[in-house]
Structure 1
Amino acid sequence: MKHTTTPLNIPIDKLAKPSQDRVCLAAVIRVILPLHREGIPLPTPVFSYDIIGRHAPSDNGPSNTLSLEALQSDEQRMVLDTVAQVRKCGLESILALPQLVVCGDQSAGKSSVLEALTEIPFPRNDELCTRFATEIIMRRATIESLTIKVIPDDERPIVEKESIQRFGETITDFAELPSIMDKAMTVMGIGATNSQSSAFARDVLSVEIGGPSRPQLTLVDLPGLIQNETKGVTRADVELVREITDRYISQPRTICLAVVSATNDYANQPILTEVRKVDPEGERTLGIITKPDRVPAGSGSEGAYISLARNEDIFFKLGWHVVKNRSFEEGDSSFAERNASEASYFRLSNFSCLPKGNVGIDSLRERLSKLLFEHVKQELPKLHNDLTKALNDSRQQLDILGNRRSSPADCREYLMQLSLHFHKVCSAAVEGRYEGIYFKYDSATTFTPQSPCAVRRLRAMVQKLNANFSEKLRKSGHTYFMERSGEAIPSEIDGDMPIPSPNPTKPVKLSRNESLRWVVKAIIRNRGRELQGNFNPLIIGELFWEQSARWGSIATDHIEDVVDVCRRFLHELLQDLCPKDVQSRLSSSHIEDAVRARSAAAVKELEQLLVDLREHPINYNHYYTETIEKCRMKRESQSLAKCVENATIHTPLPGCQSTHTSASIDIDRLCREFGQSRNPDMDVYGCEIALDGLIAIYKVFQKVFDANVTIQVVERHVIRDLESVFSPLTVSRWPESDTTDLASEPATIMRQRAFLEDRISKLNIGHDILRKVIKGTVC
């Protein structure tokens, strides 16, 4: 077999180091040389080793082996750089961004997988990386650097948050990482000796690594799931770890790297149950099997894990992958040694039956590269839509807050702008010009005063209420409903017979005889020196007062309904135009006073109308006499029709076998019966005349009262110039103290404004970044 020679590019000065260094170098050569002779491709970077045999920093800071570059092609780097830029805007708390999350049970090898993927030598003692979530943010930078900070949990008190947020360290040598992480744990309260210490924390350790060759990538290592309480680990800690895991893996844009250890039956490892809860189809989960070298070769456990790796048992659409982590004895080996040992194992063990793309850390990088790229590429349009929606919502909230209101001048300017907008919209609603988004109406909504969108169309709602008032006044405004036809003319009237008592809610129906008895009682108690058959003309007014007694309550209810609709309209408009603090102050101190003043003026005007109604009726409308004449002619036409029927003679046709007859009218009999149809009783005659006068004057005054209430009361005092209750002219007359009291921002609003402005700034940057990529050829 012909062997090719691959030079090991090791600086010659390294061979001059002390014996310990030479022993380390010899160990590297012993591992690499057999692989080289077998023709296995080897990584070709320049290796340098420090005194403890770890991959050492170069002169420019922490080095990054060329194997990391396999994570991204040019197109992949462009897409992932886009997400990194969006993440850098600080949008993680607003939007779920694509990321890789390493999750699994305690001691499953999660941190080792993450370390091998990123080639960052995290401290391995005391399981430091399993006590909290660790976010590794890799980004492009001109120089190599490593920044560590702690992101406090939202549920911490403000004082603790501020203390934690002050923590931050930047280093250029990985050797300083253990001491920095010790400080971070102290800040989080982990491992402290006081009573407030805990084993785990909801806080997040953020490790940001920058460098010119670093890929734009975010990886998260989660605390391992714990099954039972142990010494130093409480039931609360067990639940806390599960809560942290659920929060991360449930995010729809997270690729879950579910790590299971071959040293334990995978049926007993709950991480598989957890990821299938949030990802039942396995669309964003990749299973990773660790520690395959710990399983006896040829055993049933090994066969089960080989079957699992083939995706034959627990199926994930993303499949499975097997990696060999460093053993305890290999803890001080370099990443190159680790990779070489892993390659040798998968070449010689029973796991060699698996496809090369499903084993080893190098193929895992390439696999994750494709998975992450396709996942991010698919999510970018959705992320752009979510970001646009969040941006529009934030802008709308900031618009409601209006301009800044810190000084008296700011307050007056704000109120002037607010009143100008208020005046414009209110004027349009009063005039019935429903243009603009404010008047958008849902056609499926019933047009009632209870509907907010119906109330916004104020003129239409007032018209509807006026029509309802007019209809109610016509149908239910009278005390008695009097039957005027279908009964014989009584020969006499018994004024002592009782009349049904008035009903306060609906008219009482009276027959013709009962109507005449009601009138005759009024004639009797108002009789003066008038002759028999005549009546005191003032009884028309008395009958009218009793018949129209319900007008006042109906009109009062109508005014209250209109005022209530106007009040709701004004509050809805203020709610739409300004923040709650300004709305409540304006409503309580000004708007409500203006509405009450308009209501009082309307009620006062109504009282004047009712006073006029209690006076003796005055009328110059010819409709009154026309109505009386119509009543008389209707009564006489009914009587004439009956007399014609009685005077009609039906004669059979000669020689006709049918029932047809010829009709003729006996004129003498008709005249005689029609003349006798008039009631000789003078009281009955007087009652008929008085009743006709009542009906006529009631109809005239009902129309007048209807018009007066809708125009003089509702329109004049409630609706007209409603926009003037809060107009720029009104604001200009207010003293400075009033404008400051009404519009000054409380501390909560100032904080909310700062929050929204910061949020919008981040969203704008993220929106611009995504928009450029969406329009490009990448997506």
Structure 2
Amino acid sequence: MANTKGKSEKATRTKSRKRISTTESSTPPVSIRKTHRKTRSSTSFVDPHLAEKIDKLLACGVGNDVNLPQLVVVGQQSSGKSSVLEGLTSLPFPRDSGLCTRFATQITFRRDVISSVNASITPGKNTSPEHQAKVKAWSREMAEFDTDIFAQVMAEANEIMGVGPHADGHQSAFSKDVFNLVITGPEEGHFSVIDVPGRFKRTETGVTTKDDIAMVEEMVYGYMKNPRTIMLVVVPCNTDIATQDIIEKAEEVDPLGQRTLGILTKPDLIDRGAESAIVDIMEGRKHQLALGWHLLRNPGQADLLRKDGSRSRSSEESIFFETKSPWNLLGSDKVGVESLLIRLQDLLEGHLQREFPKVKQDIRQKLTNVENQLQSLGPKRQTLMEQTHYLSQTATTYRDIAEAARSGHYAQNALLQDERLRLATIVVSRSDIFAKDMGTFGQAFSFNKDEAEGDTEDDQDPYRPTHSSGPALRPPGVIREQARMANVSPPIEEQYFSRSIDTPLEIADLVSPPMVLNDDDLEQDDAWVSKLWHSTRGYEMGTFQSHLIGDMMQRQAKKWRIISMGYVSDIICAVHHFITSVLTSLVVGERSRSALQSLLMESLKVYYANAFRQTDYLVDMDLKGPPVTHDPAFSSHLETLRQARVREQVAGKAMRDSNNQMVVRLQDLSGIRHISNEQHTIREIHDVLRAYYTVALTRFVDGIRRHVIDHILIVGPESPLKLFSPLFVSSLMPAQVQRIGDEEPKIRVRRQALEQQIQRLAEGKRILQ
């Protein structure tokens, strides 16, 4: 009954069938509108609106960027895959003795008032720009469409894609490009299916290689792993299903089987007695899939040679499944192309409805992500004008970041969230350590501890030299390691390390290496003053020579150079790290960064050397020059020390008066033990030197901080932080601008790929609006 109805419908459709072609061919052209499609001319496989949008997304290459819902036919070679595709599309696929499917083929049917057949090629992902331009320029619009014309068009596509032998002797058996065939007509339903090359395990001499096997495997797997792909997995009945690893691949990417529909082919070729195994699969007793299995009979060679059209594939298939046992016992909804199309209609409808909103969201997110990637490459810089503009903009941005880092306005740029780039904080913190280190370790000999205890709290200076039992700064492990590499003594608690900031390798030969200072050689009394005075005394009576304080100052402050050089070296390292880190973030491309830093380095070396030169100058002023000061604090300190000695002498004669104040009677002063002229001179030298050292220390610490650190290295007009600027860029020669600003080849390629990706995604976004 069903068969009679099918024949009646076919006769009706045949009368009204129109050909697309208007020319004759040796083989009668095959109409694009096939019987099984016309039976559903009043309906569509899926929502035409959604299907058309997905087809357009695939056509413009968005499938390279986001996962799109698609129907893909996969299987081993010789599994009957091409025959399944013919059954779904009713297209006259060419057949030859070689490999038929050498690239992915997307066949799209669209309902339109105009009938047409158009062929085009979508370039594969990551192919060269030249190849992409070549394949995009190729297209064919066919007035008629039969096996010969299809074969001719496929041969052209092979040549355009580069499939086949090359002039250099190289053979390409497969291509990553996608061949698109779009068929429109008033009676076409909205349907799209993708055919991919059949998987194979053995090479064919002169035709395929192991690389081809890997390429096909990657291509097929790429389609299968798309979570929005519905897979028609084709397996021939006349093979052991358990040995078909295409099933294993499908289970790997779709473990729940929710998007895998198994297609069994060639039931007419199965060995007698093996039918029960296929029936078990069809009935769900073996190799279960959530979407189930479907059984098709491929046309035999006799069917392919029959040209009188007396029987259609559908008719032959219907007769087979109605008359042959045990296939006639299977449900009609599980056998034949006609019922397969009905199953696919329901399957695709629900699939597109679920996935379409996700596709829109993915395209928006992907477009934003790719635009950010393109932005991270900076502006295009392929001409001298573009390169100059790019460098000027980069210099302006760098200048703003450097100013924010110097002023402590870290919220102005995200880079400054890195604590190692917070220059203001680093300078202040390291300067505090420097001041404390100078007070603790700067003196070669300790001043008399007893007199120090006589000072009042108000008289104490923040940098007043006092002996300490431990260092003011405990160096980090990396500094200890640097000290070990510099062949200094193993670090111990009583040692001071002159460095506390890591040294960039490129300036390691410019800065002071880590050095260790001990404080265990400090003498606790004024014996050292006595020794120095006795070794330099002359004919003076009850006094000392003026140059003696200068000589003693040189010995007492001999550690200042090491400590200050370590301090300046640390700040230089911090500044250099800042410059290189910010430029690394702003300048795109290793070659450009290297060229710019190499050009800057020559000037930076001069700036750094100037900082050390000025540090030496300030040290020499105090150590080699005469001791001179106009600071009132000198007199104040000296008077305090002298009063302390007087208080020490009369302390034993003191008593309390009626007001509970400590007083000394005048008559008791005559009982104070007098000291010799020599002792008096030594004490006077001690107190003068101590008062002067205290004033000089404060002056020196402030001088190093203000003159060297702040003015020369951080905020002054010749600060290395100000070297890279728009003015610096304007002074460059054109060759220098090109060497620094030109894009690296890999960046150009990356930029072009991102621009093409943005173009595709933007078009996809427009399609989905």
TM-score (norm 1): 0.74
Separation in 1, partners of 2:18, 2:496: 110
Alignment partner of 1:82 is 2:80: no
Separation in 2, partners of 1:671, 1:512: 34
Question: For 1:284, which of 254, 259, 263 is the aligned residue?
Answer: 259
Alignment partner of 1:518 is 2:528: yes
Question: For 2:760, which of 759, 762, 770 is the aligned residue?
Answer: 762
Q: Cα gap change, 1:684/1:314 in structure 2, threshold over 3 Å: closer, same or farther?
A: farther
SS of 2:630's equivalent in the other structure is coil
- Is the 8 Å Cα contact of residues 202 and 244 (structure 1) preserved in structure 2? no
- Is the 8 Å Cα contact of residues 483 and 509 (structure 1) preserved in structure 2? no
CA RMSD in angstroms, aligned pairs only: 4.7
- Is the 8 Å Cα contact of residues 61 and 144 (structure 1) preserved in structure 2? no
Question: For 1:129, which of 100, 107, 116 is the aligned residue?
Answer: 100
Question: For 2:616, which of 596, 607, 610 is the aligned residue?
Answer: 607
Q: Cα gap change, 1:626/1:159 in structure 2, threshold over 3 Å: closer, same or farther?
A: same
- Is the 8 Å Cα contact of residues 149 and 168 (structure 1) preserved in structure 2? yes
- Is the 8 Å Cα contact of residues 334 and 340 (structure 2) preserved in structure 1? yes
User: Once the two structures are superposed, what CA deviation does each residue of 1:645-665 show, in whole Å capped at 9, x if it has no partner?
Assistant: 9x99xxxxxxxxxxxxxxxx9
Alignment partner of 1:434 is 2:395: no
Q: Cα gap change, 1:640/1:283 in structure 2, threshold over 3 Å: closer, same or farther?
A: farther
User: Once the two structures are superposed, what CA deviation does each residue of 1:345-368 show, in whole Å capped at 9, x if it has no partner?
Assistant: 444543455555443323333433
Q: Cα gap change, 1:118/1:675 in structure 2, threshold over 3 Å: closer, same or farther?
A: farther
User: Once the two structures are superposed, what CA deviation does each residue of 1:610-655 show, in whole Å capped at 9, x if it has no partner?
Assistant: 22112122223343344445556667778888x699x99xxxxxxx
Cα offset, 1:177, TM superposition: 1.0
Q: Cα gap change, 1:143/1:229 in structure 2, threshold over 3 Å: closer, same or farther?
A: closer
Question: For 1:221, which of 195, 207, 220 is the aligned residue?
Answer: 195
Separation in 2, partners of 1:235, 1:583: 41
Partner of 1:12: none
SS of 1:126's equivalent in the other structure is coil
- Is the 8 Å Cα contact of residues 35 and 344 (structure 1) preserved in structure 2? no
- Is the 8 Å Cα contact of residues 152 and 165 (structure 1) preserved in structure 2? no
Query: What is the identity, as a one-letter code, of the residue corresponding to 2:51?
Result: L
- Is the 8 Å Cα contact of residues 481 and 508 (structure 1) preserved in structure 2? no
Separation in 1, partners of 2:73, 2:366: 29
- Is the 8 Å Cα contact of residues 103 and 259 (structure 1) preserved in structure 2? yes
1:471-550 map, 5 Å: 471-480=436-445, 484-485=449-450, 505-510=516-521, 512-513=523-524, 515-531=525-541, 534-550=543-559
Cα offset, 1:460, TM superposition: 3.0
Separation in 1, partners of 2:575, 2:115: 66
TM-score (norm 2): 0.75
Cα offset, 1:522, TM superposition: 1.4
Q: Cα gap change, 1:184/1:758 in structure 2, threshold over 3 Å: closer, same or farther?
A: closer
Partner of 1:270: 245
Question: For 1:294, which of 246, 265, 269 is the aligned residue?
Answer: 269
Q: Cα gap change, 1:150/1:634 in structure 2, threshold over 3 Å: closer, same or farther?
A: same
Separation in 2, partners of 1:507, 1:193: 77
Cα offset, 1:267, TM superposition: 0.5
- Is the 8 Å Cα contact of residues 157 and 179 (structure 2) preserved in structure 1? no
Cα offset, 1:731, TM superposition: 4.6
SS of 2:100's equivalent in the other structure is helix
- Is the 8 Å Cα contact of residues 184 and 205 (structure 1) preserved in structure 2? no
SS of 2:601's equivalent in the other structure is helix
Partner of 2:504: none
Larger deviation, residues 367-376 vs 545-554? 367-376
Q: Cα gap change, 1:200/1:738 in structure 2, threshold over 3 Å: closer, same or farther?
A: closer
Partner of 1:701: 696
Q: Cα gap change, 1:601/1:518 in structure 2, threshold over 3 Å: closer, same or farther?
A: same
Separation in 2, partners of 1:558, 1:258: 72
Partner of 2:339: 363
Question: For 1:553, which of 557, 562, 573 is the aligned residue?
Answer: 562
- Is the 8 Å Cα contact of residues 151 and 205 (structure 1) preserved in structure 2? yes
Q: Cα gap change, 1:397/1:269 in structure 2, threshold over 3 Å: closer, same or farther?
A: closer
Separation in 2, partners of 1:224, 1:408: 51
Q: Cα gap change, 1:165/1:211 in structure 2, threshold over 3 Å: closer, same or farther?
A: closer
Question: For 1:565, which of 574, 591, 595 is the aligned residue?
Answer: 574
Aligned length, in residue pairs: 689
Question: For 2:117, which of 145, 148, 156 is the aligned residue?
Answer: 145
Larger deviation, residues 546-555 vs 137-146? 137-146
User: Once the two structures are superposed, what CA deviation does each residue of 1:294-328 show, in whole Å capped at 9, x if it has no partner?
Assistant: 3367x3x3232222234443333333332232233
Alignment partner of 1:691 is 2:701: no
User: Once the two structures are superposed, what CA deviation does each residue of 1:542-574 show, in whole Å capped at 9, x if it has no partner?
Assistant: 333223223223333333333333333333333
Q: Cα gap change, 1:379/1:707 in structure 2, threshold over 3 Å: closer, same or farther?
A: farther
Separation in 2, partners of 1:35, 1:737: 78
- Is the 8 Å Cα contact of residues 64 and 125 (structure 2) preserved in structure 1? no
SS of 1:579's equivalent in the other structure is coil
Query: What is the identity, as a one-letter code, of the residue corresponding to 2:422?
Result: R
SS of 1:617's equivalent in the other structure is coil
User: Once the two structures are superposed, what CA deviation does each residue of 1:517-540 show, in whole Å capped at 9, x if it has no partner?
Assistant: 3222211222122336x4445333
- Is the 8 Å Cα contact of residues 108 and 181 (structure 2) preserved in structure 1? yes
Separation in 1, partners of 2:411, 2:189: 53
Query: What is the identity, as a one-letter code, of the residue corresponding to 2:146?
Result: F
Question: For 2:38, which of 66, 73, 80 is the aligned residue?
Answer: 66
- Is the 8 Å Cα contact of residues 83 and 298 (structure 2) preserved in structure 1? yes
Cα offset, 1:67, TM superposition: 5.4
Separation in 1, partners of 2:278, 2:379: 64
User: Once the two structures are superposed, what CA deviation does each residue of 1:562-620 show, in whole Å capped at 9, x if it has no partner?
Assistant: 3333333333333444433554444333x434433432332332232122112122223
Larger deviation, residues 191-200 vs 469-478? 191-200
1:304-383 map, 5 Å: 304-332=277-305, 337-348=312-323, 349-351=325-327, 354-380=330-356, 382-383=358-359
Cα offset, 1:505, TM superposition: 1.5
Q: Cα gap change, 1:207/1:393 in structure 2, threshold over 3 Å: closer, same or farther?
A: closer
Q: Cα gap change, 1:767/1:186 in structure 2, threshold over 3 Å: closer, same or farther?
A: closer
Q: Cα gap change, 1:711/1:384 in structure 2, threshold over 3 Å: closer, same or farther?
A: farther
Q: Cα gap change, 1:732/1:194 in structure 2, threshold over 3 Å: closer, same or farther?
A: closer
Cα offset, 1:289, TM superposition: 1.6
Cα offset, 1:714, TM superposition: 1.6
Partner of 2:419: 454
User: Once the two structures are superposed, what CA deviation does each residue of 1:35-70 show, in whole Å capped at 9, x if it has no partner?
Assistant: 669xxx879644659999999445x99999335769
Unaligned runs of 5+ in 2: 454-493, 498-514, 657-661
Q: Cα gap change, 1:523/1:317 in structure 2, threshold over 3 Å: closer, same or farther?
A: farther
Separation in 2, partners of 1:183, 1:501: 82
SS of 2:230's equivalent in the other structure is strand
